[in-house]
Amino acid sequence: MKVAPSLLSCDFAKIGEEIIRVDKAGADLIHLDVMDGHFVPNLTIGPAVISSVRKYTKLPFDVHLMIEHPLDYIDAFADAGADIITFHIEAKSDIEDTINKIKSRGLKPGLVIKPKTPAEAVYPYLDKLYMVLVMTVEPGFGGQSFMADMLPKVTAIKQECKRRGLDVLVEADGGISEKTVGVASAAGVDISVSGTGVFKADDTEAAIRILREAK
């Protein structure tokens, strides 16, 4: 299990220090949630913030675009230092065009599905993807309760990839902590996004280790 702490739950007054803290504690990636106030009812960070914090770590930046028109912003986030860009299948941009744009910038593309979107929606694109992100909460706000009924989608996507001989990672995001990571791992999750579970933990290193070693 790889662990991607979500900066949505960090102390934004000292975001650089927070990135250094989880890097030293053993994080595998840094998850950055980008929200536009339209696709989801919240506003967070944009390319300028990502660019300014890029210098604090060499870990891959896993940028999750919760925006209506992701295709219009791929260049901006690529220039800011993204390594992986995931965008929602429910967004308004053409899916194949957006995947191709991400690849054209030398980045790794991923598709995200909301809780009400079936696993099968991503099947036509699996051979073009590095990752599928299955939301285990409704996107928009941190600190929500984990939706265990989303895990069969993880298993279904992993099985479809295996059937087709594809090596696509499945990431889960929302409510993942030491209490929920076991069932996520059992379902086949490769990367756990954890905000509150890491940044609010008493011992950051122990929290990341528990997530990574989940069986």
79 is catalytic: no
Active-site entry in 28, 36, 62, 173: 173
Return phi, psi of residue 112, to 5°: -115, 140
CA distance 131 to 142: 21
CA distance 114 to 134: 7
CA distance 86 to 208: 22
Digit-coded pLDDT (tens) for 157-181: 999 999 999 999 999 999 999 999 9
Question: Across all residues in the chain, what is the average pLDDT?
Answer: 96
28 is catalytic: no
**In the predicted structure, residue 23 carries a pLDDT above the cut 90:** yes
Share of the chain above pLDDT 90, in %: 94
What is the pLDDT, as a whole number, of residue 140?
Answer: 76
Return phi, psi of residue 63, to 5°: -100, 120
How many Cβ atoms are within 10 Å of 125's Cβ, its own excluded? Answer: 17
Where are the domains positioned within the chain? 2-212
Q: Mean per-residue pLDDT for 10-37?
A: 97
Dihedral, CA of residue 214, residue 34, residue 54 and residue 132, to nearest 10: 40
**In the predicted structure, residue 143 carries a pLDDT above the cut 90:** no
CATH of region 2-212, choose from 3.20.20.70, 3.50.50.60, 3.40.50.2300, 3.30.450.20: 3.20.20.70
How many Cβ atoms are within 10 Å of 146's Cβ, its own excluded? Answer: 20
Task: With CA atoms as reference, report the closest residue to 92 among 36, 32, 157.
Answer: 36
Give the pTM: 0.96
What is the pLDDT, as a whole number, of residue 147?
Answer: 94
**In the predicted structure, residue 81 carries a pLDDT above the cut 80:** yes
Digit-coded pLDDT (tens) for 88-140: 999 999 999 999 999 999 999 999 999 999 999 999 999 999 999 999 999 87
Active-site entry in 28, 33, 36, 62: 33
Amino acid identity, position 66: M
